[in-house]
């Protein structure tokens, strides 16, 4: 009987350890996620982690942002990034494709392939797509097609959509660094708020 009790205690301890492990949120993106021009602690993923913890949620954020990353570049490194367990995967890529005028059919295909790889490695993962936009000087048809990539992929993959990651920040000189493209410290705090509003319900 004592042996059985010891086994039961060990099993319960193991289950408790599994259920009490923090949820891993992996941010996979470009310079916006990497916090271009800022420290990693000032980038929006760090603010997201801080805010969620303040709300009593047990999470650990992994920032896998890389400045200059395109969707093709992301696809080439996703296998390496997925060596760890992921509970929530936030995909923020495509903006550099759009700024370079790359074929959007390829962008769409690359993002879908990234999602597919994430699902294979982590079948129970919750996927969040961060919607982006490109400047109107790219042409009406191109900008419209680009904008539609994210809701289309979210619907197809039953993923959660952040309609526009830079909502409230894009185009505001006071919230961006000198290049007018990348958020400054205050801008990243607003971006973090955009993300937290979407992530919080997924973590409860």
pLDDT score for 3: 45
How many structural domains comprise the chain? 1
At 148-158, the pLDDT tens digits run: 999 999 999 99
- Does the annotation mark 109 as catalytic? no
Catalytic residue among 31, 47, 71, 97: 31
Higher pLDDT, 44 or 10: 44
Residue 69: inside a domain, yes or no? yes
Taking the C-alpha atoms of residue 29 and residue 97, their distance in angstroms, rounded to an integer, is: 12
At 25-51, the pLDDT tens digits run: 999 999 999 999 999 999 999 999 999
Residue 1: inside a domain, yes or no? no
Helix axes of 185-202 and 44-54: crossing angle, nearest 10 degrees: 50
Which helix (H) or strand (E) element contains residue 60? strand 59-65
CATH number of the domain within which 44 lies: 3.40.50.1110
The tokens describing 204, both together, are: 């409860």
pTM, full prediction? 0.90
Q: What is the mean pLDDT of residues 84-108?
A: 98
CB 118 within 8 A of CB 143: no
At 48-73, the pLDDT tens digits run: 999 999 999 999 999 999 999 999 99
Taking the C-alpha atoms of residue 62 and residue 59, their distance in angstroms, rounded to an integer, is: 10
Higher pLDDT, 158 or 11: 158
Q: Identify which of 138, 167, 163 has the alpha carbon closest to the alpha carbon of residue 149.
A: 163
Residue 9: inside a domain, yes or no? no
- Does the annotation mark 39 as catalytic? no
pLDDT score for 5: 52
Catalytic residue among 47, 87, 182, 188: 182
pLDDT score for 204: 87
Residue 172: inside a domain, yes or no? yes
| 3-state SS, residue 91 | strand
Residue 167: inside a domain, yes or no? yes
- Does the annotation mark 30 as catalytic? no
Residue 80: inside a domain, yes or no? yes
Which helix (H) or strand (E) element contains residue 128? strand 126-130
The residues, ordered by sequence, that sit 6+ positions from 22 with a Cβ below 8 Å of its Cβ are: 58, 59, 60
């Amino acid at each position: 009987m004592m042996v059985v009790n010891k086994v039961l205690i060990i099993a319960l301890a193991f289950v408790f350890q599994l259920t009490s492990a923090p949820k891993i949120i992996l941010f996979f993106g470009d310079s916006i996620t990497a916090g271009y021009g800022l420290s990693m602690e000032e980038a929006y993923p760090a603010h997201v982690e801080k805010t969620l913890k303040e709300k009593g949620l047990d999470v650990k954020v992994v920032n896998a942002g890389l400045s200059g990353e395109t969707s093709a570049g992301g696809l080439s490194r996703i296998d390496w990034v997925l060596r760890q367990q992921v509970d929530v995967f936030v995909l923020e890529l495509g903006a550099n494709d759009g700024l370079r005028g790359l074929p959007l059919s390829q962008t769409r295909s690359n993002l879908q392939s990234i999602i597919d790889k994430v699902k294979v490695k982590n079948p129970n993962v919750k996927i969040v797509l961060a919607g982006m936009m490109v400047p109107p000087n790219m042409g009406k048809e191109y900008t419209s097609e680009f904008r539609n990539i994210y809701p289309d992929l979210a619907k197809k993959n039953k993923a959660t959509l952040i309609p526009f990651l830079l909502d409230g920040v894009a185009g505001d000189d006071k919230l961006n660094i000198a290049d007018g493209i990348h958020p400054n410290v205050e801008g990243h705090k607003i971006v973090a708020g955009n993300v937290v509003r979407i992530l919080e319900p997924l973590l409860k």
